Amino acid sequence: MSRALRRRQKKGVKSTLGRQNAPSPSPEQDKLESAVAAQKGGQLAQAESLYREILRDDPAHLQATHLLGVLYSEMGQYAQAVSWIEKALQIRPDFAEAYNNLGNVWLAQGRFAEAVTCYRSALRYKPDFFVACYNLGNACKALGQWELALESYRRAVTLYPDFAEAYLNMGSLLHARERIAEAAECYRHSLALRPDYPEALVNWGLMLQEQGHLSQAQEQFQRAVTIRPGYPEAWSRWGVALQDAGDLHGAMEKYQRALSLRPQFPEALSHMGGALLSMERLTEAQDALHAALAMNPSSPETLSNLGSLLHKQGRMEEALHHFFQAQANDPHFAEAYFGAGLTQLLLGDYQAGWQNYEWRWRTKGFQPHGHQQPLWDGTPLTGRRILLHCEQGLGDSVQFIRFIPMVKEKGGTVVVICPPSLYRLFSQIKAIDLLVSRLEDIPRCDCQMPLMSLAKVFAITLETIPAPVAYLTGECEDSIIKKRLSLLPGLKVGLVWRGNPRYKNDHIRSTSASMMGPLLAVTGCSFVSLQKEVQDGDRELFSQGCVDLSRDLADFADTANALTCLDLVISVDTAVLHLAGALGRPAWGLLPYVPDWRWLRDREGSPWYPSIRLFRQYQPGGWQEVIDAIIFQLHRVVQGK
């Protein structure tokens, strides 16, 4: 309950009770007014003493009996509060304000059913009691009776159209029910009535944040803390908006501010743990998340964050335990299902993993794909047209385009939309009836499906992955690429050391040109850089004799052509590694300690790509041991072993 509303409730009680007294002043009335003033000013001991003086002279004094009960409620002495307010109701059984305040006592103790009964009694005796309507809404909301809560809030604003708090709570309830347009209207009403209402600013900011308007959301949180600097929830939410925008250091600053205001703040600790997790500060993240869980053991967010932490540490069974706990505590918490799905897929449990992987669309990290056609259910497509669309990274598209022939076997017309950089590469796939790279070129389709959902539709297991030696082709045409590479002596080896820096885990999967440098000392090899984007730190490698193909690789068809002219590709987990596998070209993949789910665990080969050999870190960040193993094996290949 906001401070403004508490003042309104006290004022309402005082004015209503005042009308019960005789109109002419009296010593008793003066003493009552002094007690009320002391109570309002926070001088609770003085107020208690004055109320008891009145009751010594008149044990049946209605206002003193009632307000003494309200006083004990403010002091947290709930048993005393109930006793005195019930005495007031014995004196006057139709006392609506007393029923409302008794309901507040029960509400404060979490006894929501008793609170509902009291608020209903208050409204029976005073049907236009808008504060009781509001309180009834809060109690019904706490009981999960959301429609009754909405009905109560609506009645409250009908009785009192300037009731900003009721609009706010109604908006938050509609927001939770994903009735976004109605919730937004309530928030606007609340802020129109009270532009400086911090709670409403925070809720409005949350809605903007969920819609991807991160800068606008941050403005609302900043306004809230400007109005109320000691508002820890606003600081914490501002941190979340910064974290979603990728500003992890800015987010940490806001979380620390929130925790300085409220050290026992489990939500802020959980958010901080998530930020530390993204920064790979795993020990600190673990400390923050365990502290948050100690304060709120049932928090689905904290449990899910701990699951992600354990996943990063390679403790997969423990990770699953935490994800499952989070799901049990909140069956709608998408991050817990998606996290479990990633862990199950990494463990090779594809049956459960594909199911949970579908929750990705409900998590904060995924933007809606925007295609409105019904989702395909796997039934025959005869006479229908299906749209298949790429998602996530380019490597994902290369990996999952293998399922197109299986879709075509279902009949119908197959339309695929892909990024322009994949258009020429995918145009060779005969099972695609129409390939486009622009939204405006998509014809009318009867159904749609993301490429990465096809594995679930076809119930793919480790044993049934369609993994031909090659399902894409590249031609080393009479081109600049062929001419440049044909002049190179010895074993022609392509190198890729860095992925897309915009990928959130790129710092885990990528290494550096300097780390690759020792490979160039292996005699009998010619090395070729397949990096599309060249950075200043890469140029030292080129000065050592590594050929730079970046200017010759306009798209992935060019990269495929280059791969067919090479004898071996050595790459971190990037789209080029997927492409080498899809082409059936020999490739060595360099993997972090906990790799992406598709590479599974403890395997030297991949069931997805028969031509790829995997070299794994034995400890987090341990690239040197991987490079040493690569150099050793490269010497063996050159020597014909």
How far, CA to CA in Å, does 157 sit from each of 140, 353, 565?
Answer: 17, 47, 74
- In sequence order, which ranges of 279-349 are alpha helices (DSSP H)? 282-295, 300-312, 316-329, 334-346
Range with lowest mean pLDDT among 157-171, 286-300, 412-426, 476-490: 476-490
User: What sign does the CA torsion over 559, 560, 564, 566 have?
Assistant: positive
Q: Is residue 213 part of a domain?
A: yes
Identify the CATH number of the domain in which residue 524 sits: 3.40.50.2000
Say whether both 139 and 247 belong to one domain.
yes
Number of domains in the chain: 4
Say whether both 80 and 187 belong to one domain.
yes
Q: Is residue 379 part of a domain?
A: no
The predicted-structure confidence for 554-564, as pLDDT tens digits, reads as follows 999 999 999 99
Q: Is the pLDDT of residue 22 over 50?
A: no
pLDDT of residue 6: 54
Q: Is residue 462 part of a domain?
A: no
Identify the CATH number of the domain in which residue 339 sits: 1.25.40.10
Say whether both 420 and 347 belong to one domain.
no
Say whether both 162 and 50 belong to one domain.
yes
Q: Tokens at residue 2, please?
A: 């906001």
Q: Report the alpha-carbon distance of residue 114 to residue 121 in Å, rounded.
A: 11
User: What sign does the CA torsion over 485, 488, 491, 494 have?
Assistant: negative
Boundary-marking domain end, from 261, 281, 315: 261
Say whether both 436 and 316 belong to one domain.
no
Say whether both 512 and 623 belong to one domain.
yes
Q: Is residue 94 part of a domain?
A: yes
Q: Is the pLDDT of residue 16 over 60?
A: no
Say whether both 90 and 158 belong to one domain.
yes
Say whether both 101 and 238 belong to one domain.
yes
Say whether both 158 and 126 belong to one domain.
yes
pLDDT band at 20 (very low <50, low <70, confident <90, very high): very low
The predicted-structure confidence for 587-640, as pLDDT tens digits, reads as follows 999 999 999 999 999 999 999 999 999 999 999 989 999 999 999 999 999 988
Q: Is the pLDDT of residue 431 over 90?
A: yes
pLDDT of residue 477: 65
Q: Tokens at residue 139, please?
A: 């109690």
Say whether both 223 and 180 belong to one domain.
yes
Q: Tokens at residue 412, please?
A: 């119908």
Q: Is residue 468 part of a domain?
A: no
> Domain limits at 487?
480-638
How far, CA to CA in Å, does 413 sit from each of 171, 435, 472, 638?
Answer: 45, 11, 21, 48
Q: Is the pLDDT of residue 248 over 50?
A: yes
Q: Is the pLDDT of residue 188 over 80?
A: yes
Say whether both 61 and 184 belong to one domain.
yes
Q: Is residue 579 part of a domain?
A: yes
How far, CA to CA in Å, does 273 sit from each of 49, 69, 248, 289, 641?
Answer: 49, 43, 11, 5, 49
Boundary-marking domain end, from 208, 232, 261: 261
Identify the CATH number of the domain in which residue 449 sits: 3.40.50.20
Q: Is the pLDDT of residue 4 over 60?
A: no
Q: Is residue 464 part of a domain?
A: no
Say whether both 229 and 355 belong to one domain.
no
Q: Is the pLDDT of residue 9 over 70?
A: no
Q: Tokens at residue 391, please?
A: 């998602």
Q: Is residue 269 part of a domain?
A: no
Q: Which letter, b or e, does each residue of 253-266 get, where b requires 16 or more Cβ atoms within 10 Å of its Cβ?
A: ebbebbbebbeebb
Inter-residue contact 120 to 144 (CB < 8 Å): no
Q: Tokens at residue 156, please?
A: 């409250």
For the segment 17-21, the average pLDDT, to the nearest whole number, is: 44
DSSP state of 531: -
